[in-house]
Structure 1
Amino acid sequence: MGALAAGVLVTVSAIILGFMKPPESYGILYAGLIFQSIFGMATALIVAPLTQRSELLEKSVSVLGYLSLPLSGAFMMVDWIPQKYRWILMASPSVESVEMIRAGQFGYVAHAHYDIIYTIWINFFLILIGLSLTLRVRKYIYIQ
């Protein structure tokens, strides 16, 4: 939420000061932000129970987070990648959401690639996995 608030603050300030144009499509921009938030929640629902069961995973979550950052879609557009390799990035719900945000902000100029149906289904599937893991790990949680 802090990163989202900071992004909104910077964007609104840049628009007011004239350094940036307003978004081309608020609907797809908000959809991308909502899907990115849902993906973050799904990831947390998966990672939290796994780290409860594994000390090694608990220690390595931050490293894995930093290593996954280049594949988040934040630093490159899918359109820059050769077409036969795009599927690798498009498998990530984070990339799909970031592409939606780009499309909402820049319109057709950005040449964004995304599939809303895929994003809905993969986020739903990840949330189901996360909820299942959370329910299974409850018996191992001891409050001291």
Structure 2
Amino acid sequence: MNSSFVKSLKIQIRVIGALLLREVLTRYGRHNLGFLWLFIEPLLFTIGIVILWSYTKLHTGSISIIAFSIIGYSYILMWRNISNRLAGSVEPNLSLMYHRNVRIVDVYWSRLILEIAGITISFILLMTIFIVLGFIDMPDNIFLMLCAWLLLALFTAGLGFVVGVMSEISEVFDRIWHTFTYLFLPFSGAFYFVDTLPTYLQKYILYVPPVHAIEMLRHGYYGHLVQTHEEPLYLFVVSISMILVGLMGISWLNKKVIPE
């Protein structure tokens, strides 16, 4: 392997590590509960949804509503939080661009890694706690859930890159995107199984890439108890395409951004 490439890679890793530490200290260092909010927030949400659905009888069948809530909310956090964190993330870090080894992609990677790590930890902790307490069963296929989570992370990386670039190009896009993430929730598949939709709607909702991730996650957890409709290859191709488009946008953005 080329020694210059190895040297550059080491520098890149050190830069991302430093930015990651800076993000942790900036975001959580001065708050009372700090990093724990990444765990407490989904826990409170899950408890609220379980109580609501238990008393209103909005669910049917023998599936675990607790597991349904944990998976659905963690899934929403992944694509929504990451895209929102990368949107408009260049301007607060413009002063760092004076360092020749710090680039826009490093800022994006640091925020991306922090969000994915935090959400993944909260997801694993919530599942583990409720399994140990006996409120939910063990997943039917942990490996399938792991593959689905990795594909979801890949998709959110591509989405985050594209949103990050677009938010720097257009201030209007930056403002609209945060509203759009709320409006998109009914189409995200987080609150229902695709199989419960009318047949004519299923083919349209399956054009939405992240829906395949949530369907695959539920397939891994519930196994034969539910009928799911996922196409991992479609999600993978869309995710890789978005990452490539995002990286090209970042390359173009590097030439336009002027450090303060």
TM over 0.5: yes
Matched, 1:109 2:222: no
Contact 2:148 2:216 in 1 (8 A): yes
Matched, 1:28 2:144: yes
More relative contact order in 1 or in 2 (CA 8 Å, sep 6+)? Answer: 1
1:3 deviation in Å? 2.8
1:5 deviation in Å? 2.1
Q: Deviations over 1:40-61 (max 9, x none)?
A: 1110110111111111111222
Matched, 1:41 2:150: no
Q: Identity over the aligned pairs, expressed in percent?
A: 25
**Structure exhibiting the larger radius of gyration computed from Cα positions:** 2
Q: Which runs of 5+ in 1 are unaligned?
A: none
Question: For 2:204 and 2:255, how far apart are their aligned partners in 1?
Answer: 37
Alignment of 1:1-144 (within 5 A): 1=116, 2-144=118-260
Which runs of at least 4 in structure 1 moved beyond 4 Å after TM superposition?
A: none
SS at match of 2:184: helix
1:106 deviation in Å? 0.4
SS at match of 1:118: helix
Question: For 2:170 and 2:140, how far apart are their aligned partners in 1?
Answer: 45
1:130 deviation in Å? 1.3
Q: Please tell me the root mean square deviation across aligned C-alpha atoms, in Å.
A: 1.2
Question: For 2:149 and 2:165, how far apart are their aligned partners in 1?
Answer: 25
1:19 deviation in Å? 0.5
Give the counterpart letter for 2:136 in structure 1. M
TM-score (normalised: structure 2)? 0.53
Q: Which runs of 5+ in 2 are unaligned?
A: 1-115
1:39 deviation in Å? 0.9
Number of residue pairs the alignment of both structures matches? 144
1:67 deviation in Å? 1.4
